[in-house]
């Protein structure tokens, strides 16, 4: 009968469309910018990529600025990096959006001095040499802490060094103080350095998951699925100290870092991937306002850089976990 034939043809067409969609999803590729294998390692260790219906093409970088530049030029679909580089791009109207936020224990961003240093407070930094990285958590933390202590940055001799070079400069006595992040905080403290202050109560030190406008238009479901799996991997680390150790050991072996440093860092990092909320945007605005105030970027409404539509892929954290 014509009706039955039509139903059979319709069913075959629908099945074919579903199979085609599945093949297209499997054939699709998401190009991801990572830093020093951090996110790739945690996702692989947690096993969240086992049933991935598309391909992840990982590109590894040593810092956030080149990740941001790769996003700006369109050579990545999505990148994982600290807040400052994408916020700088936002000031230029770059074709990117923040689709997720990552937070951590703020003890992992700190101002350090040598163990035998006579410096005991931030006020003691007047006239001293400090190593920071311009346009980063490092600069924001040092300047904010100095302001809180009533010290002008002009009263400190600044040297602009990357995190690794700053660590060596502190150890060798070339500078009196550094403002840095993990794993350098853990490494320096293990080697005897003292923490003057952490980022807690001073700067947000957020990290962002950033996608290009083109990827959002063409690969929305892939981006959402990637976000969901990344969140699951970070929660897996938090569930059990043994999971944290597995992650740390895998990362240390891959990057040839010291296993003890990695274990100490990851056990206390408490990294969470979270939906975008009003607090996220408000803290981003503080960072934009800070860098605008010191003349590095032009101020703008930070909220214009965020796409909260991806929140539907993420679980909201428990209320007590909010910072």
Could you give the C-alpha distances from 59 to 54, 109, 164, in angstroms and in order? 16, 25, 21
| Structure tokens given for 182 | 């993990």
Q: What is the pLDDT at residue 4?
A: 52
Task: Say which residues have a Cβ less than 8 Å from residue 157's Cβ, sequence separation at least 6.
Answer: 127, 128, 129, 130
Q: Are 35 and 81 in contact (CB under 8 A)?
A: yes
Query: Can you give the pLDDT at residue 10?
Result: 41
Sheet containing 55-61: order of strands: 55-61, 29-35, 78-82, 207-212, 96-103, 272-274
Run of H or E including 58: strand 55-61
Cis status of the peptide bond prior to 183, with omega within 30 of 0: yes
Do 54 and 71 touch, CB atoms closer than 8 A? Answer: no
Mean pLDDT per 10-residue interval, the chain, length 323 residues: 46 40 62 96 95 96 94 97 96 97 96 96 96 95 97 96 95 96 94 96 97 98 98 95 94 91 93 96 97 96 97 76 39
What the chain holds in terms of domains, given with CATH numbers, is 29-104+205-321 (3.40.190.10), 110-198 (3.40.190.10)
- Are 125 and 177 contacting, i.e. CB atoms less than 8 angstroms apart? yes
Q: Is the distance from CB of 86 to CB of 98 less than 8 angstroms?
A: yes
Tell me the sheet residues that pair with 31. Answer: 57
What value, to the nearest 5°, has the Cα angle with vertex 119 and ends 287 and 192? 90
pLDDT confidence of residue 321: 39
Q: Which residues contact 66 (CB under 8 A, 6 or more apart)?
A: none
pLDDT of residue 316: 75
């Amino acid at each position: 009968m014509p009706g039955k034939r039509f139903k059979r043809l319709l069913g075959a067409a629908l099945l074919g469309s579903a199979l085609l969609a599945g093949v297209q999803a499997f054939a699709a590729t998401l190009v991801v910018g990572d830093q020093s294998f951090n996110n790739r390692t945690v996702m692989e260790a947690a096993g969240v990529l086992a049933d991935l219906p598309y391909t992840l093409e990982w590109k590894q970088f040593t810092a956030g600025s080149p990740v941001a530049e790769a996003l700006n030029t369109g050579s990545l679909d999505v990148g994982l990096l600290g807040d400052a580089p994408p916020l700088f791009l936002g000031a230029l109207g770059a074709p990117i959006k923040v689709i997720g936020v990552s937070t951590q224990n703020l003890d992992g961003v700190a101002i350090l001095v040598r163990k035998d240093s006579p410096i005991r407070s931030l006020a003691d930094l007047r006239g001293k040499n400090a190593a920071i990285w311009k346009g980063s958590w490092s600069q924001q933390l040092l300047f904010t802490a100095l302001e809180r202590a009533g010290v002008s940055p002009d009263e400190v001799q600044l040297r602009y060094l990357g995190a690794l070079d700053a660590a060596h400069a502190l150890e060798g006595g070339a500078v009196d103080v550094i403002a840095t992040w993990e794993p350098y905080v853990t490494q320096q403290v293990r080697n005897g350095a003292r923490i003057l202050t952490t980022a807690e109560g001073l700067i947000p030190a957020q990290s962002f998951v950033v996608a290009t406008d083109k990827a959002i238009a063409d690969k929305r479901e892939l981006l959402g699925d990637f976000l969901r799996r990344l969140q699951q991997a970070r929660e897996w680390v938090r569930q059990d100290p043994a999971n944290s150790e597995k992650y740390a050991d895998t990362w240390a072996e891959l990057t040839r870092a010291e296993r003890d440093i990695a274990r100490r860092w990851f056990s206390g990092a408490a990294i969470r991937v979270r939906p975008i909320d009003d607090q996220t945007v408000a803290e981003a605005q503080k960072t934009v306002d800070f860098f605008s105030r010191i003349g590095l970027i032009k101020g703008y409404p930070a909220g214009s850089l965020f796409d909260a539509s991806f929140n539907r892929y993420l679980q909201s954290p428990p209320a007590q976990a909010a910072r």
